[in-house]
Structure 1
Amino acid sequence: MSPRARRQPDAPSAEVPVAVSGELFAPVSQGVELCYQTFGSPDDEPLLLVMGLGGPMTWWDHELCAMLARRGFYVVRYDNRDTGRSSRSGTRVRRTTLVRAFAGTRVRPPYTLVHMAEDAFGLLDHLGVESAHVVGVSMGGMIAQTMAIAESRRVRSLVSIMSTTGKRTVGWQHPGLLPSLIANRGAGRDAYIRSSAALWKMIGSPAYPQTDERITARAGETFDRGVSASGVMRQTLAILTQPDRGARLHSLPMPALVVHGLADKMVHVSGGRATAAAIPGAELLLIDGMGHDVPPALFETFVSAIRRTADRLR
């Protein structure tokens, strides 16, 4: 697909129907199979959405994906390995290993962010897509940055949302979150929904609060699609063992946008500022009152910013 692929008008009607695929599966690398879904026409510009820690593809809201498709993108969202309906790793991670990694001790993770970036490229290969615009949120932003560093020719534009460079002195978590992050969620659907809802209320956007019904429905859908505590631990270890990408980000040639909320407790805004400072010509969009989520009230802001960044390629 050419970078000059035609895009649709800037502000199409919300009533314009968008083609949506069912949930499909792609073998990508070393026995890993990813579950994915597409929105829009394959003739439009490919846009890959990469979700964060423990988040299935459905955390990219259906309406947000449809809005992006109406702006001329062929949208692909997917479950990372160890998430949702994608493949699970069989490697067990001990809590003591996580503690050592938190402390900065060198440990060997079951897989790295490089492997997760290779998964994403494998999905593009499966779709016959040579290059795509790539948008990542939180851990997904780390994966998107890793993709851009590894194969810049395949990343048309880069959007890193509420993420960081991997440098330990930026993008830290608010210490008040630690008890909730390490607490035992308990077994079963109801326990998962309760603990998940409590966490989202802590890290969500104070200026753009989501309703209890919406938070609860998303938690239930997440559980029903498949949750894996051991998978979250493996992904966490991949995050904790990531390198500082700052120096390598300096070489990126593609248009880039960094978005971060000024009220983010999960990844401090210093992570976003460091990412934007490292990428030549990157736009930095700081949003007052935004936390560590993508609330519906900001959908149009995100869609317009992603479209603007993609258009810089021309």
Structure 2
Amino acid sequence: MAKIISNNLSLEYETFGTPSDPAVILIAGLGFQLVDWPASFCEAIAAQNFHVIRFDNRDIGLSQKLDEKGLPDMAHIMQRVQAGEAPTVPYHLSDMAADVAGLMDGLKIDTAHMVGMSMGGMIAQLMAIFYPEKLHSLTSIMSSSGNRHLPPSTPAATSVLMSAPASQSIDDVVEFGLEVNDVIGSPGYRWNRDALKEHIRFCVTRSYSPAGYLRQYAAVMASNPRVSELPGVTAPTLVIHGKDDPLIPYAAGEDTARLIPGARLELVDGMGHDLSPALCEHLAGLLLPHLSANR
């Protein structure tokens, strides 16, 4: 792993494969670290002659934290959004897209395949909107156009997303992570329980930034819908969504694919809202033909 200055921030990143091969940039979701993209998934893509880059978004993992921006008032932000007003937030998803563009520039990558999951899918969409010259292709996984009229999360998913660990001890944070995965994880691609517990503990030990998570969450909440911009996307696009996603229902994937001209939609039975190793093995099988067809 290494660090690079991008958009005036220090980002942690890791690469797989040969730098001269076409680049694939993996953009993680809300609160997810680069290690949440399984190494086996990255290696499977790199084995097909791609240069894979996974990185920590700002405010998470080993990338720079923006604690000087303070804690967002989530209740006030939600009230402003519901009133159709623009809330003041520490930063926006467009700033996070600029981070990706800066990462590419720092690594001297002219064009890349953008692959984003959840919040990362929103950032990948913004890359296709604002930096079309930098994309070979776009893949939006378990994400959304931001359309305010889409079905909401299930009550259980909303509740767990707004909850918190019993304490800030590692054991309680790990237990809370297990509870979250019980609610939003993929019923058809379940983690091995012991492996998941070990993975969560590793992530918490690597970096635990609840304040950074809230600032990212504020960026998602304040993001403008991309409904009017997505029809102008020219990058070949693959949309993947789980039919059992309780956090972002699959209607959001259908909506995204409908908005982007020529987009291909893959709805996956048994897929929820996580990146379990078993699910990522299936995702690689969907993703690789798309990447290979658009080298």
Q: In structure 1, what is the Cα distance between the partners aligned to 2:283 and 2:186?
A: 14
1:100 CA drift (Å): 2.3
1:101 CA drift (Å): 4.7
Q: Residue in 2 aligned with 1:179?
A: 159
Q: Is the 8 A contact 1:101 1:240 kept in 2?
A: no
Match of 1:121 among 101, 105, 127: 101
TM-score, normalised with respect to structure 1: 0.89
Q: Residue in 1 aligned with 2:145?
A: 165
Q: Is the 8 A contact 2:81 2:87 kept in 1?
A: no
CA change 1:271–1:148 in 2 (3 A) is same
Q: Which moved more, 1:125-134 or 1:298-307?
A: 298-307
Match of 1:149 among 124, 129, 136: 129
Matched residue SS, 2:133: helix
CA change 1:101–1:176 in 2 (3 A) is farther
2:56 corresponds to 1:56: no
Matched residue SS, 1:236: helix
Alignment RMSD (CA, Å): 1.4
Aligned positions of 1:101-250 closer than 5 A:
101=80, 103-104=82-83, 105-170=85-150, 172-185=152-165, 186-250=167-231
Q: Is the 8 A contact 1:114 1:143 kept in 2?
A: yes
Q: In structure 1, what is the Cα distance between the partners aligned to 2:285 and 2:31?
A: 27
Q: Is the 8 A contact 2:158 2:247 kept in 1?
A: no
Q: Is the 8 A contact 1:136 1:143 kept in 2?
A: yes
Q: Which moved more, 1:204-213 or 1:56-65?
A: 204-213
Match of 1:65 among 25, 34, 42: 42
Q: Is the 8 A contact 1:132 1:156 kept in 2?
A: yes
Q: Is the 8 A contact 1:172 1:271 kept in 2?
A: no
CA change 1:256–1:171 in 2 (3 A) is farther
Percent identity, aligned pairs only? 34
Q: In structure 2, what is the Cα distance between the partners aligned to 1:183 and 1:42?
A: 41
Q: In structure 2, what is the Cα distance between the partners aligned to 1:189 and 1:161?
A: 30
Deviations along 1:15-55, one digit per CA (max 9) or x if unpaired, are xxxxxxxx10011113x110000001112110000000000
Match of 1:84 among 53, 61, 72: 61
Matched residue SS, 2:232: coil
Q: In structure 1, what is the Cα distance between the partners aligned to 2:183 and 2:269?
A: 16
Q: Is the 8 A contact 2:187 2:270 kept in 1?
A: yes
Q: In structure 2, what is the Cα distance between the partners aligned to 1:300 and 1:244?
A: 31
Q: Residue in 2 aligned with 1:8?
A: none
Unaligned runs of 5+ in 1: 1-22
Amino acid at match of 2:237: A
Q: In structure 2, what is the Cα distance between the partners aligned to 1:218 and 1:102?
A: 35
Count of residues paired in the alignment: 291
Match of 1:298 among 273, 279, 293: 279
Deviations along 1:127-173, one digit per CA (max 9) or x if unpaired, are 10011001000000000000010011101100000000011222631
Deviations along 1:80-123, one digit per CA (max 9) or x if unpaired, are 00000001112121243344256344311111010000001111
Q: Residue in 1 aligned with 2:240?
A: 259
Amino acid at match of 2:20: D
CA change 1:171–1:51 in 2 (3 A) is farther
Q: In structure 1, what is the Cα distance between the partners aligned to 2:181 and 2:18?
A: 33
Deviations along 1:205-236, one digit per CA (max 9) or x if unpaired, are 11121111121111111111112111111111
CA change 1:180–1:142 in 2 (3 A) is same
1:66 CA drift (Å): 0.6
Q: In structure 2, what is the Cα distance between the partners aligned to 1:286 and 1:216?
A: 28
Matched residue SS, 2:248: coil
